[in-house]
Copies of this chain bind each other. A is one copy, B any other.
Amino acid sequence: MSDKKLVYYFGKNATEGDASMKNLLGGKGANLCEMTNLGVPVPPGFTLATEVCKSYYDNNRTYTDDIKKQVDENLAKLEKEMGKTLGDPNDPLLVSIRSGAAVSMPGMMDTVLNLGLTTEAVEGIAKNTGNPRFAWDSYRRFIQMYGDVVSGCEHHDFEVALESVKKEKGVEFDTDLDADDLKEVVQRYLAVYKKTTGKDFPQNPKEQLWAAIDAVFGSWNNERAIKYREINKIADLIGTAVNVQSMVYGNYGDTSGTGVCFSRDPSTGENYFYGEYLMNAQGEDVVAGIRTPLKLSTLEDQNPAIYKELVDIKDKLEGHYKDMQDLEFTIQEGKLYLLQTRNGKRTGNAAVNIAVDLVNEGMRTKEEALIMVSPDQLDQLLHPMIDPAYEKDLVSIAKGLNASPGAAAGTIVFTAEAAEIAKAKGEKVILVRKETSPEDIGGMNAAEGILTATGGMTSHAAVVARGMGRPCVAGCKAVVISVSDKTATIDGKIYKEGDSLTINGTDGNVYSGTAKLIVPELSGNLNTFLGWADEVRLGARRKGIKDGFGVRTNADLPEDARKAREFGAEGIGLCRTEHMFFEGEKLEAFRVMIVSDTVEERKEALKAILKLQITDFEGIFEAMDGLPVTVRLLDPPLHEFVPHTDDEINSLAKKMGMDAKALKIRLEGLSEQNPMLGHRGCRLGITYPEIYDMQVEAIMTAAATMTKKGIKVFPEIMIPLVGIVSELKVLRENAQAVIDKVLKNTGSKVEYMIGTMIEIPRAALTADEVAKYADFFSFGTNDLTQMTFGYSRDDVGGFVPEYINKKVLKDDPFQVLDQDGVGQLVNMGVAKGRQTKADLKTSICGEHGGEPSSIDFCYRAGLNVVSCSPYRVPIARLAAAHAVINNR
Contacts and interface: CB of A to CB of B under 8 A. Distances in A.
Interface in A663-703: 665, 669-670, 672-679, 683, 686-687
Interface stretch (A177-185, A418-426, A791-799): A791-799
B672 A766 contact: no
Nearest to A671: B795
A724 to B, nearest CB: 6
A808 B765 contact: no
A769 B821 CA distance: 11
A656 interface: no
A319 to B, nearest CB: 47
Nearest to A434: B668
Contacts of A333: none
A838 interface: no
A790 interface: yes
A480 B669 CA distance: 12
Contacts of A679: 795, 798-799
A595 to B, nearest CB: 14
A539 to B, nearest CB: 34
B762 A683 contact: no
Nearest to A786: B677
Contact of A686 (B794, B806, B825): B806
A798 B761 contact: no
A670 B795 CA distance: 9
A792 B677 contact: yes
B783 A762 contact: no
Contacts of A228: none
Given A683-B799, A724-B809, A808-B686, A765 B824 contact: yes
B761 A792 contact: no
Contacts of A821: 723, 761-762, 765-766
B799 A686 contact: yes
A853 interface: no
B721 A638 contact: no
Contacts of A480: 665
A726 B766 CA distance: 29
A727 B672 CA distance: 30
A57 interface: no
A340 to B, nearest CB: 38
B761 A674 contact: no
Contacts of A687: 798-799, 802
A677 B791 contact: yes
A277 to B, nearest CB: 49
A685 B645 CA distance: 37
Contacts of A807: 726
A361 interface: no
A803 interface: yes
Complex A-B, nearest 6 residue pairs according to Cβ-Cβ distance, in ascending order = A677-B792, A674-B792, A762-B821, A679-B798, A678-B795, A672-B795
27 contacts: A638-B798, A672-B794, A672-B798, A673-B794, A674-B677, A674-B795, A675-B795, A676-B677, A677-B790, A678-B798, A679-B798, A686-B799, A686-B802, A686-B808, A687-B798, A723-B788, A723-B790, A724-B809, A726-B809, A761-B787, A761-B825, A762-B789, A762-B790, A762-B818, A762-B821, A765-B824, A787-B788
